[in-house]
Amino acid sequence: MQTPRAIRRLRRRLRTTFATRKQRRHALVGPLALWRQKRDFQIAFLRGQGLQPSHTLCDLGCGTLRGGIPIIDYLEAGNYTGIDVRAEVIEEARRELAEHHLEHKRPELIAAADLADLHLDRRFDVIWAFAVLIHMSDDVLDRALAFVAGHLAPDGRFFANVNLGERPSAHWRGFPVVWRPLGFYEAAAAAAGLEVTDLGEVRNFGHVTGDERGDTKHMLLFRPADREARG
Ligand SMILES: C[S@@+](CC[C@H](N)C(=O)[O-])C[C@H]1O[C@@H](n2cnc3c(N)ncnc32)[C@H](O)[C@@H]1O
């Protein structure tokens, strides 16, 4: 007799075996059934927050450009930078870009094994991490926030959705899936010289997929703590 978990695993394996190349690419960043909604949400959210074509944006944990393609399309050439820890995923992102004929937008796509070793010679108006901080252990999160602090413009904004609360961590494709209280993010942000505001559940911004875990994630806004003094 198969357990429900084993049945789910078998179903997943069957879906992967019979998936097209494109479906396999899309599955590298989450469930296929929600792929379109999660792509559409990202650009809609960012435009709702005032993203302009002239802004520069760093997509931290860009994956295969599920969110990145409409953002690259919207921004002026040279204004998008995507970073991911998985080199093979960045390769798929390059294929996705080519299939959408968007190379003329000259996005920079970077595979970075450790954000502590990545020093880009510029600061961004917006840094964006969709479904990424939830996959970081505490030490990786600290390095990511230090990267953000070092690459955000004085009046720049870093948006990231997270699981708020306390639950045992789970796993996804070799990454942890973590829940943390808001106070944890406040302390980690302060240590990096950032301050954080909880903007509320993403479903209030149109992320309504029917998947409770995704729709009830909170969107956090991080900004430089000393922005008034610097501005
Ligand atoms: C759920 S996927 C989301 C991808 C993309 N943001 C999107 O919405 O399609 C999470 C991504 O974060 C990336 N990631 C996890 N830890 C990372 C790290 N420390 N640095 C950069 N990318 C990371 C993973 O490789 C994965 O592609």
Q: Kindly state if the Cβ of 75 falls inside 6 Å of ligand 1.
A: no
The alpha carbon dihedral of 185, 220, 53, 136 has a sign of positive
> Which pLDDT value is given to residue 6?
77
Non-local (6+) Cβ contacts of 46 within 8 A are 57, 71, 126, 128, 159
Q: Is 107 in the pocket of ligand 1 (CB under 6 A)?
A: no
Q: Does 140 contact ligand 1 (Cβ within 6 A)?
A: yes
Q: How far is CA 93 from CA 15, 43, 64, 103, 106, in A?
A: 21, 17, 4, 11, 13
Nearest to 195 by CA among 163, 227, 231, 164: 227
**pLDDT for the residue 231:** 54
Q: For the chain, 231 residues long, give each residue's pLDDT as a single digit of tens.
A: 677 777 777 776 776 666 788 899 988 988 889 999 999 999 999 999 999 999 999 999 999 999 999 999 999 999 999 999 999 999 999 999 999 999 999 999 999 999 999 999 999 999 999 999 999 999 999 999 999 999 999 999 999 999 999 998 899 999 999 999 999 999 999 999 999 999 999 999 999 999 999 999 999 999 999 876 655
Distance 41 CA to ligand 1 centre (A): 16
Q: Give the dihedral sign, CA 24/29/33/39.
A: negative
What is the value of pTM for the model shown? 0.92
Q: Look at residue 226 in the predicted model and tell me its pLDDT.
A: 85
Query: Atom 18, ligand 1: which residue's CA is nearest?
Result: 85
Cα of 102 vs centre of ligand 1, distance in Å, is: 21
Q: Does ligand 1 have an atom closer than 6 angstroms to the CB of 146? A: no
Q: What is the pLDDT of residue 1?
A: 61
Task: Write down the pLDDT at residue 228.
Answer: 66
Whole-number pLDDT of residue 168: 87
Q: Take atom 27 of ligand 1 and give the residue whose Cα is closest.
A: 63
Query: What kind of architecture, by CATH, is found in domain 31-230?
Result: 3-Layer(aba) Sandwich (3.40)
